[in-house]
Each structure stands twice: as structure tokens, then as C-alpha cells.
Amino acid sequence: MEQKHLNYKERINLGSYYTKQELVDIVFSMLKKHIYDMKQFCLLDTSCGYGSFLKTNICFKKKIGADIDIKALDETKNIKNVKLFCQNSLVDVNRKNIDILSTDKLIVVGNPPYNDTTSIIRKNIKKDIFQIDNDLKTRDLGISFLLSYNKLKADYICVLHPLSYLIKKANFTLLKNFNQNYKLIDSLVISSSEFVETSKTTFFPIVIALYKKDSLGMDYNFIKNYIFKTKEGKIFSLSSFDTISNYLTKYPNQNYVKEKNSVAKFWTMRDINALKRSRTFVNETTAGTIFITSNKLPYYCYVDIFKTFISHIPYYFGNCDVMINNKKFLNIKDCFETLSAKRFYNLKPYIKSSKTVKEAQKLVENYFKDLLGQHYVY
């Protein structure tokens, strides 16, 4: 249901992007596929908004909703057989507060807010909603919510969250207590465009993820080898791509490379979506500058030209590192150099390529079609 009581700032602040029925249905069909008798379980959404996930006709032992936004709960009151709590679900997290017994079997569903808390506080919007128990505190509200489900000892968790929580190693590490107790058993990757209409934003992958309590948990290798499916019918695994971080440094290296030994400078690199917005080769030296030695120059040209091909990369790779097929790249590295030297004249003295721009462009295009295969966006 369309959110109708919050203004723009409040909506961003609370992460109130309500979930459409089609996505709610995907959550319940995933649960049905894996759980035989849902009647034995309590259903809980601790950030329920208007209650999209609580309207289900499926029978549960109890249905419980909570939200910090009292006006949203006014709307949810109309759903039958749901017990509601107005609370900050990240403070004093325990089953008792929301009328769930320690013996109850529990399924958590929902679409918790995903917000970088630090950037929002800086924007000077209400801070009080960001009170979070110390053991759940992270830089992202959504990660804190996942940790809270672990604290509630849910048997199953089926929620929407940014795929970056799993695939970015730093995020995965923040999920430590969660990862020790849960295993991803089913999932579907969708685009953030499902929530925002404007095509001006950069879309990122969201995963509808079903986790099951598992004493062995999951490690990062499990995620690297996991085969993700997308709503568009594509499948991918992180381990099927080699990444640029194996060949160059993505971060400032001024501690161990001297400026006088460098032939060019580059801007700090993060993921593919960040590269879309950021610069590549730069002239100035700042704290974010990487000094490039001549032997590494072709790899930085690679990233520079990769940036020009980003429109051919699907949204679901948005939070990945720049991918590379090193062997095939080395065969045509002079093509990347030619194309970068056309974009940045000051690279010319360091580049010994005999390729014309036209030849290089064709070979590079074929390289990317081959690298991405079924994922190349035409």
C-alpha cells in the first residue's frame, strides 16, 4: 500500500518505502516452499508499516506487528487478528516485550529500513529514532535489524535487504552474530527500482532472503559460491568473476609509493555503483589519491574504460568490485590504454599502443560482451 502520511524527510528518516503485494507474495511463496506447517509458527514483522506482510490469509498461531511510527500503525489496526506494538524495535530487544514466548516457533518477515545512519544524522533530521542497543549498533539500520532477529532467536527469517549486506565483506563481517546462527536457504535478487520510480537514481540490488536457524551458520565463502537468482531469470555467483582488486590497489597508497615514482594518479575506488559517480584519473594529490606506477597503468586504464561501459552492467552487480578476465585483458591491454589516452591526454607519453581508437573500441566492446556473457545489457 502506498505510504500516505509522511513527508519526504520523514520518509527517508524512517526508511518508509512500503512493499508492494507482488514482493510480499514472493516472501510467502518462499516460506511455503520450505516450511510444511506454518500454523505452528508466530509471524512477526518488527517494522511493519501499514502491515503489508501481516495481511496474509495463511494461518499462523499468532501474528504480531511493531513499528516506531504510530501513524502508520493507525492504518494497520484494521487488519484482523494482529497484535500491534508501537516501539523502537532496536531497543531492549526481547521476545517478552512483544508477547512471544520463548517456546514459540517464530518466523520474522518484513522489509526493515535500510539507511546509512551516519549520513542521515549529518543531514540533521530527528536523531531520537536512532537509539539502538549497543550490541546491535552498526552504521546501517538494516544490518541492525538483521542482528535483532538473531537476538529474538527466530527460526526462519524472510526479509528484503540490500544484497550488499552479504556480498560486501565489510558488511558481512558486521553481521557476525547473525551469520553464526543463520544460513541462507533461498533467495531472489530484485532491483531497488521496484521501490523508486525515478530512473535518475542509481539502482542497487536488493535480496529477498530466506534464512534458517543453523548452528553452523554461514561464512563468506558460502556467499561467494552461492548461486543467486534474479527476478529477471538470471543466475550468478560471485566466485565466477575475478576482480580488479587482485591486480591493483583501490585505496590511497601514499604510504608506500612515492609521488615521484608515479606516472599518473587515480581516485579511490569502491564498488561499481560508486565508480559510476566517481572520477578515475585525476591531476591533483589529495588524501584520496592513488599513485600509479608504470607497470600498473594498464589496470587503471582498464577501470577507466570499465566506467564507460557501466551502462552495460546489470543492476545486480552494482555493489561488486570491477570484474576482469585477466588473461583476455592482457591480450588487448594496449586497447584499454589507447582509449584511456584519448580521454586523458597526459597519459599519452606512457602508452606504447599501435591500435587506433576505432580498432580498440571494437576489441574492448567484444571483451566486455565476452566477460559478462548473458549479463551484458544491450
Ligand X SMILES: C[S@@+](CC[C@H](N)C(=O)[O-])C[C@H]1O[C@@H](n2cnc3c(N)ncnc32)[C@H](O)[C@@H]1O
Q: Can you give the binding site for ligand X, defined by CB under 6 A?
A: 14-19, 45, 47-49, 52-53, 66-69, 72, 88-90, 110-111, 113, 129
> Can you tell me the distance from the alpha carbon of 290 to that of 60, in angstroms, rounded to the nearest whole number?
56
* Element holding 187 (H helix, E strand): strand 182-191
- Minimum separation from the CB atom of position 1 to ligand X (A): 7
Is the CB of 17 or the CB of 317 nearer to ligand X? Answer: 17
Write down the least CB distance from residue 54 to ligand X, Å: 8
**Cβ closest to ligand X, residue 72 vs residue 305:** 72
Minimum distance, C-beta of residue 149 to ligand X, in the bound complex (Å): 13
Alpha helices in the chain (DSSP H): 8-14, 21-34, 70-76, 117-122, 141-151, 164-167, 169-174, 176-181, 220-225, 272-277, 297-308, 326-331, 333-343, 357-372
Cell 546501517 sits on residue: 140
Place of cell 535489524: 145
Taking alpha carbons only, the member of 127, 66, 53 closest to residue 95 is 66
Which residues contact residue 158 at a Cβ distance below 8 angstroms, ignoring those fewer than 6 apart?
Answer: 27, 30, 31, 107, 108, 109, 208, 209, 210, 211
Closest CB 53 distance from ligand X, rounded Å: 6
Residue 177 CB, nearest approach to ligand X (Å)? 18
In the complex with ligand X, which residue's Cβ is closer, 147 or 305? 147
Nearer to ligand X, 47 or 150 (CB): 47
Q: Is 20:193 a contact under the CB 8 Å cutoff?
A: no
Distance CA 104, CA 153 (A): 10
Nearer to ligand X, 111 or 187 (CB): 111
Q: Which is nearer to ligand X, 3 or 202 (CB)?
A: 3
Min CB(312)–ligand X separation in Å:
30
